[in-house]
């Protein structure tokens, strides 16, 4: 073989080997061999996202996801706090929630995601939602969906001509989903026919009750705290607000068991057709509309929540989200996974399950593609509330769960008639003030 041929052959082989390496490098998946451990909210429709999107992400990236915990947020909350305190959080990503996040952030374990998300990445999220994902200027969570409450009502009752006529004669205005809390009372009183049918209901236990009180207090023009973090919910507006709940309870317009109800209890009652109207999260819509789980499927209506004395609708709200832990050894992969499961495609998938979208593009999509008139009304109402009403979170401070724990037993004591309303609120305010003082808010 001539010298030229030898050189030529060497170059050829070298080029072939280089191309092979380049192709191999090009086809190698970005997180091949990486394992991401995740602690996620489980149950109901929450898990469908993981079933649909995590295998796709694994296929794209070559990484593997191990879900180390899949439980309700109540259980997760307990786990997270103990894990963080003990330094035993061995997962890369976790389910978070805007109401719980300040507590977790106090442990200093959550990664600031700002450097990992460009302005373009974030531009599609609703600004009001994105705002509550920051703590101290750090983006510690990426929103998954947002929950707000509106009215679910028995349209068969509201559209009954005989009832419409009788209502107009008695109250002087048309029977329709209530615009104000006063109207809500009238309608509850009019439709109340216990024990077969109650006018309305509310969640009367735990944070579910504190939150309901909070949003009505705000819509009436009240506040939980003044600018110095002194509790002011025992103001005359607070008394009026709690009296409203007490009057509903004492007049028998709500099931007497409400003080023991949380979300699944009110949902079961409404699905059984035992409640004329009530406030509930948007996420329940598919369940209410499924004839397998609900007697009111295909017949109930959905409308905006009532306004308070201040002339505004206030929605106590919170966004489910995902966070990455600072301790993660695979931060890039963890962030990539979060981006994937909060992407536009994931948002569309979850919006179709009934969850409140947090991306503008997802809202555009569902409004354009939904054909079912009732469902379209649901989406339109939801979006209207997100864009036009006051969307509030509980105070984003780590003390909120403790405040709620002080508040709701006192609210219960008042509506059960164990204590006068003013005394119950004063007692709660005194205890909250002690808590805030202990935690250094008045130094």
Does position 263 interact with another protein (CB under 8 A)? The reply is no
Would you call 378 helix, strand, or coil by DSSP?
helix
Q: Near another protein by CB under 8 A, which window of 18-26, 51-59, 89-97, 267-275?
A: 267-275
- In sequence order, the β-bridge partners of residue 118 are none
Q: Which two tokens stand for residue 365?
A: 């999509």
Q: Which two tokens stand for residue 389?
A: 């009403």
Q: How many residues does the chain have?
A: 443
Does position 70 interact with another protein (CB under 8 A)? The reply is no
Angle at 214 between CA 228 and CA 376, to 5 degrees: 130
Question: Which residue lies nearer to another protein by CB, 380 or 422?
Answer: 422
Given candidates 35, 72, 250, 272, which one binds another protein under the rule CB under 8 A? 272
Would you call 283 helix, strand, or coil by DSSP?
helix
Does position 416 interact with another protein (CB under 8 A)? The reply is yes
- In sequence order, the β-bridge partners of residue 209 are none
Size of residue set near another protein by CB under 8 A: 34
Does position 43 interact with another protein (CB under 8 A)? The reply is no
Interface with another protein in residues 196-225 (CB under 8 A): 204-206
Rg (CA), the chain: 26
Question: Which residue lies nearer to another protein by CB, 241 or 269?
Answer: 269
Does position 409 interact with another protein (CB under 8 A)? The reply is yes
Q: Give Cα separations from 436 to 21, 183, 225 (angstroms).
A: 63, 37, 11
Given candidates 142, 184, 259, 357, which one binds another protein under the rule CB under 8 A? 259
Scored b (16 or more CB within 10 A) or e, 363-373 reads bebbeeebeee
Q: Near another protein by CB under 8 A, which window of 45-53, 124-132, 268-276, 282-290?
A: 268-276
Does position 256 interact with another protein (CB under 8 A)? The reply is yes
Does position 398 interact with another protein (CB under 8 A)? The reply is yes
Contact of 63 with 57, CB cutoff 8 Å: yes
H-state helical runs in 176-235: 181-191, 206-219
With tokens 């072939």, the residue in question is 16
Give the contact letters, 77-116, x = binds to another protein (CB under 8 A), - = no.
Answer: -x--xx-xx-----------------x--xx---------
Question: Which residue lies nearer to another protein by CB, 61 or 404?
Answer: 404
Note the residues at the interface with another protein (CB under 8 A): 78, 81-82, 84-85, 103, 106-107, 194-195, 204-206, 255-257, 259-260, 265, 268-269, 272, 274, 398, 401-402, 405, 408-410, 412-413, 416, 418
């Amino acid at each position: 073989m001539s010298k030229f041929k030898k050189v030529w052959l060497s170059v050829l082989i070298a080029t072939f080997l280089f191309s092979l390496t380049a192709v191999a490098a090009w086809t190698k998946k970005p997180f091949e061999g990486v394992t991401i451990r995740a602690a996620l909210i489980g149950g109901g429709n929450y898990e469908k996202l993981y079933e649909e999107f995590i295998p796709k992400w694994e296929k794209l990236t070559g990484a593997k996801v191990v879900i180390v915990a899949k439980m309700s947020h109540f259980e997760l909350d307990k786990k997270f706090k103990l894990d963080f305190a003990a330094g035993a959080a061995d997962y890369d990503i976790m389910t978070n929630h805007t109401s719980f996040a300040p507590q977790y952030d106090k442990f200093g374990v959550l990664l600031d995601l700002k450097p990992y998300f460009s302005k373009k990445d974030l531009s599609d999220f609703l600004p009001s939602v994105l705002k509550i994902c920051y703590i101290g200027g750090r983006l510690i969570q990426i929103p998954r969906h947002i929950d707000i409450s509106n009215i679910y009502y028995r349209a068969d009752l509201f559209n009954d001509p005989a009832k419409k006529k009788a209502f107009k004669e008695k109250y002087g205005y048309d029977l329709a989903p209530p615009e104000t809390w006063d109207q809500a009372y009238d309608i509850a009183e009019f439709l109340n026919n216990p024990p077969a049918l109650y006018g309305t209901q509310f969640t009367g236990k735990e944070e579910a009750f504190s939150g309901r009180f909070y949003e009505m207090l705000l819509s009436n023009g009240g506040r939980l705290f003044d600018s110095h973090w002194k509790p002011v919910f025992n103001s005359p507006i607070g008394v009026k607000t709690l009296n409203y709940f007490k009057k509903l309870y004492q007049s028998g317009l709500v099931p007497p068991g409400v003080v023991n109800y949380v979300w699944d209890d009110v949902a079961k009652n409404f699905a059984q057709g035992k409640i004329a109207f009530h406030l509930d999260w948007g996420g329940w819509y598919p369940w209410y509309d499924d004839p397998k789980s609900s007697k009111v499927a295909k017949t109930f209506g959905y409308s905006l929540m009532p306004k308070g004395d201040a002339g505004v609708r206030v929605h106590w709200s919170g966004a489910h989200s995902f966070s990455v832990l600072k301790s993660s050894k695979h931060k890039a992969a963890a962030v990539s996974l979060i981006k994937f499961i909060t992407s536009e495609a994931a948002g569309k998938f979850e919006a179709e399950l009934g969850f409140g979208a947090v991306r503008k593009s997802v809202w555009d999509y569902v409004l354009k593609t939904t054909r079912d008139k009732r469902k379209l009304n649901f989406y339109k109402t939801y979006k209207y509330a997100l864009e036009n009403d006051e969307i509030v979170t509980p105070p984003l401070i780590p003390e909120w769960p403790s405040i709620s724990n002080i508040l709701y037993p006192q609210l219960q004591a008042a509506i059960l008639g164990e204590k006068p309303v003013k005394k119950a609120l004063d007692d709660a305010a005194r205890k909250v003030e002690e808590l805030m003082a202990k935690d250094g808010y008045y130094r």
